[in-house]
Amino acid sequence: MLRLRDVKAYYETPRGVVKAVDGVTLDVRENEILGIAGESGCGKSTLLRAMYDSLEPPLKIVAGKVEAEMKNDRGETVTLAPGEIRKHWWRFISYIPQGSMSALNPVVRIEKQFFDAISSKHHLNNKREIHKRIASYLRELELPVEVLNSYPHQLSGGMRQRVLVALGTFLHPQIVLADEPTTALDVVIQKGILLMLAQVQEQMKNSLVIVSHDICVHYQITHRIAVMYNGKIVEIGPTETVFNKPLHPYTQMLIQSIPHVGDQKHREGISGRPPSLIDPPPGCRFAARCPFVMDICREEMPSLLEVEPDHFVACYLQREPLQARKGVG
């Protein structure tokens, strides 16, 4: 389990401080698939790096805290802080990156990369035993065992990404983070990989966090979804609820802008663009593009409020129930 409390993760650049994650409070629960949705530059990948404790300059957590609750070998629950989380990479928490070509070492066979990644993290010391375990795990995931003898360039993009999923889940970590695991892949392969991730989560009953800009991907496989906009979470709740009854105007407009095969309804995008992360406005970050903007929206950022069980939204409209029901369209 992961707990984030008012986390601010900033990049210090010569042009100014980029407030990529600006006050995020979030729990990653046990046995769930949590989706993080948002457009490019909204801070969703940075949030994942904060969770993974992968904080290299210029990225820094300047405020708030990230805590991880890990069950250790004796079954006790231990609380880890940033700096300690990274000592338990692969076993407790693992990360599936998006560019499968740059994530794997191009001149090392896949099997060696499995050995290198997990060598210090398991109790097996017999090489043959490890090989057997890896091979049987690949078979479980319906991957051909021959990939172990291949170099990354000999595999297709989809196969490489599946190898990364296998590598990231081999030691049964309690938390798996996947950053856009299917970008640049074809739709058929994308579906296969997403279903593979969902299937692995179902078997291990651990927590899976998926970052994707495609809100329909979240609808298909996540249990809960957090919608980010300009460094902040604007809405979070059970995926089904958020999809069928979005409460934040941004979520509403985003869902309505997506065309579907067989539906000829006219669709509009959202005009304008998100504000700069270096110098964000004082009020709600979406105010400049919001059709329902009020004076207060420009003055103070609304906080996340629970409007119905487990469904949180950061919007002043939701504090005046009459206006809220109108929604968009």
Partner 1 sequence: MSDLLLEIKDVTKVFRIGGLLFGTELLAVDHVNLSLDKHKPSILSIVGESGSGKTTLAKIILKLHEPTSGDVLLEGKSVFGPHPDLDTLAYYRAVQPIFQNPFESFSMRKYVDSYLYDTALNLKIAKDRKEARDIIADALSSVGLDINALAGKYPNQFSGGELQRISVARGLIPRPKLIVADEPVSMIDASLRMNVVNMFLSLKEKYNVSFIYITHDLSTAYYVSDYVAIMYRGNVIEYGSSDRILTNPMHPYTELLLDSVPTGGKKWERHLKLPDIELKEYHNTGCKFANRCPFVQAVCRLNKPPPVQIPGEREVLCFKPVDYELGRTTPSQEPEKVTI
Cβ nearer to partner 1, comparing 65 with 205: 205
Alpha-carbon distances of 321 from 30, 34, 270, rounded to whole Å: 33, 28, 24
What is the phi/psi pair of residue 304, to 5°? -70, 125
What x/- string results for residues 235 through 254 when contact with partner 1 is judged by CB under 8 A? --------x---------xx
Out of 6, 12, 142, 310, point to the residue binding partner 1 (CB under 8 A).
142
Out of 144, 282, 291, 327, point to the residue binding partner 1 (CB under 8 A).
144
DSSP 61-129: EEEEEEEEEEE-TTS-EEEE-TTTGGGGBTTTEEEE-S-HHHHS-TTS-HHHHHHHHHGGGSS---HHH
Cβ nearer to partner 1, comparing 186 with 299: 186
329 binds partner 1 (CB under 8 A): no
Alpha helices in the chain (DSSP H): 44-52, 100-103, 110-118, 127-140, 157-169, 187-204, 215-221, 239-244, 249-256, 295-299, 321-326
181 prior amide bond cis, ω within 30: no
Out of 27, 39, 84, 111, point to the residue binding partner 1 (CB under 8 A).
39
199 binds partner 1 (CB under 8 A): yes
How does DSSP classify residue 326?
H
Site size toward partner 1 (CB under 8 A) is: 47
Q: What tokens does 328 get?
A: 């968009």
What x/- string results for residues 69 through 108 when contact with partner 1 is judged by CB under 8 A? ----------------------------------------
Out of 50, 159, 165, 234, point to the residue binding partner 1 (CB under 8 A).
159
215 binds partner 1 (CB under 8 A): yes
119 binds partner 1 (CB under 8 A): no
Q: Which residues bind partner 1 (CB under 8 A)?
A: 39-40, 142, 144, 156-159, 162, 186-195, 198-199, 213-217, 219-221, 243, 253-255, 257-262, 264, 266-271, 273
